[in-house]
Amino acid sequence: MNADQLSAANNIRLNRQAKEPLYAQLYDALRSRIVNGQLAPDRRLPAVRVLAKALGINPGTVVSAYRELEKNGYIISRRGSGSFVQEGMADSLATDQAQIPYLPRLDATDANQHFIDFASYSLNPDRFSTSTFKQAVNHILDRDGGHAFVIEDEMGYYPLRESLAAELAQRWIKTKPQNIQITSGSQQAIDICARALIRQGDCVMVQNPTYPGAVDAFKACGAKVIGLNFNHGTLIDELEKMLKIIQPKILYLMPNLQNPTTNSLSRLEKARIIGLAHRHDFWIIEDDYGSGLAYDSNTLHTMKEHDPDDRIIYVRSLSQIFASGMRLGYLVSPTRLIESFAGVKRIADISTSGLSQRIFDYYLRNRLWRKHLTGLKLAYHQQYQAAGKLLAESFGDRLSWQPADGAVWFWLQLNLSMTAAEFCTAAQNLGVLIENGDRYYIHAAPHNRIRLSLAPVKEADIAVGIKRLAELVSQ
């Protein structure tokens, strides 16, 4: 055993008098070294017999420990080469990165301060027509009376499911109301998928970076999460490489205007992924988060349009583009999963608000939804263009990003001496909230990315907020 391999066995102490089996003790010792980074990704572990001799134990004990590490996704075995630390496991995050706050939190001393919020996902309330909403509510109460408040079937209000099926058909997604599950936001839709499909130790592959709420849902169900670097031209290569050594249960991805990168997959890339799912037998969760406000949504084709195996679970948030506080979303379920998903929904919260569902159904049937979307798209398109111009003028080459047709946020790269965390803290001290991009990464966060959302910000505050941010680099 060479010096590099020998270091893997250093300080491992196995207690032969303990109740815990020796292989379990060895598993815990190696796992802790992988998690804390002592055994780096792609690091080769000592050969079984070599490690057994170094520790004075039976080779079968090492085999059992390695088998458990591989089963739980910490290492991979390569025929003829040995065992290696798995690249991209969520558990390999450094502890400081794992504790990145989900969103900026304000303490009591900040309560009376006016913050310009570039961090939230919610739409600007001023973009919502309350008069149209009152019209919808009054119509529903006059029509349905107290029935508007009954608990709906766990699948959702059937007329809304009919309306959504018709709406989806205009986006080339052919489905039936029976396959549509209404949820309390897209986060619940993802959680339903996780609870229904994942068992302890199952592998879920995601884009890296990706939406952390989805990762949290998968990990809460015991999944091992592997990140695939989402750069143009590399995602498919990484996926094919990983499929040679790992069998995933789920591939979770946002193929259009991905959150946070704003990148989109080509139609060819989408088709290749569907082919790989068929060949390797895994589910695809297609989270259509970003395309709702795309200025030309006809160019952003979903993967669900072409689903010959009925293995794509299509997830859509309505909260993000309608009324955030109403918490509406839905999923389109493969037929063989309908009962499983309905069962999980029943356990989770029985049913989504019947009144909220009726309101959205009214918007769809009376063509108010298209009018609402058209107004939002125009407003945010103008806002995005104006903000991009201000960022370029204020920061120059100290800030860079990939322009995206339809995004309502910027995925910014800082070309500065300070880290993203330091920049976010300094911005908050100036009354501006932005997101540290580190929290979106499964592994290898570059510490120089921030997410700046335009969705919640009043138009008049955008210039003020960007001006304050620019002060941080002019000092």
pLDDT, one tens digit per residue, over 11-24 is 788 988 887 788 88
The Cα diameter of the chain in Å comes to 81
Q: Which residue has the tokens 């592998």?
A: 203
Q: How far apart are CA 147 and CA 165, in angstroms?
A: 23
- Tens of pLDDT along 422-475? 999 999 999 999 999 999 998 888 999 999 999 889 888 999 999 999 999 876
Instruction: Read off the pLDDT of each residue in 213-230 and give the average, rounded to a whole number.
Output: 91
Model confidence pLDDT, tens digit, residues 134-143: 999 999 999 9
Cis peptide before 260 (omega within 30 of 0): yes
Enumerate domains of the chain plus CATH numbers. Answer: 3-86 (1.10.10.10), 95-126+371-474 (3.90.1150.10), 144-366 (3.40.640.10)
Q: What is the pLDDT of residues 172-202, one digit of tens each?
A: 999 999 999 999 999 999 999 999 999 988 9
Alpha-carbon separation of residue 55 from 15, 21, 47 (angstroms): 11, 14, 12
Per-residue pLDDT at 99: 41
Does the reported pTM lie above 0.85?
no
- Per-residue DSSP letters for 334-387? -GGGHHHHHHHHHHHHS---HHHHHHHHHHHHTTHHHHHHHHHHHHHHHHHHHH
Within 10 angstroms of residue 162's Cβ, the number of other Cβ atoms is 16
Q: What percent of the chain has pLDDT over 70?
A: 89
How confident is the model over 351-398, as pLDDT tens digits? Answer: 999 999 999 999 999 999 989 888 888 888 999 999 999 999 999 999
Rounded Cα distance between 473 and 372, Å, is: 38
Cα–Cα distances in Å, from 286 out to 190, 251, 254, 332, 370?
10, 9, 6, 10, 23
Assess whether pLDDT exceeds 70 at residue 295: no
| Each residue's pLDDT tens digit, 43-67 | 888 888 889 888 989 888 888 888 8
State residue 427 phi and psi, 5-degree precision: -65, -40
Per the CB < 8 A criterion, the answer to whether 199 and 218 are in contact is no
Contact 188, 319 (CB under 8 A): no
Nearest-Å Rg of the Cα atoms of the chain is 25
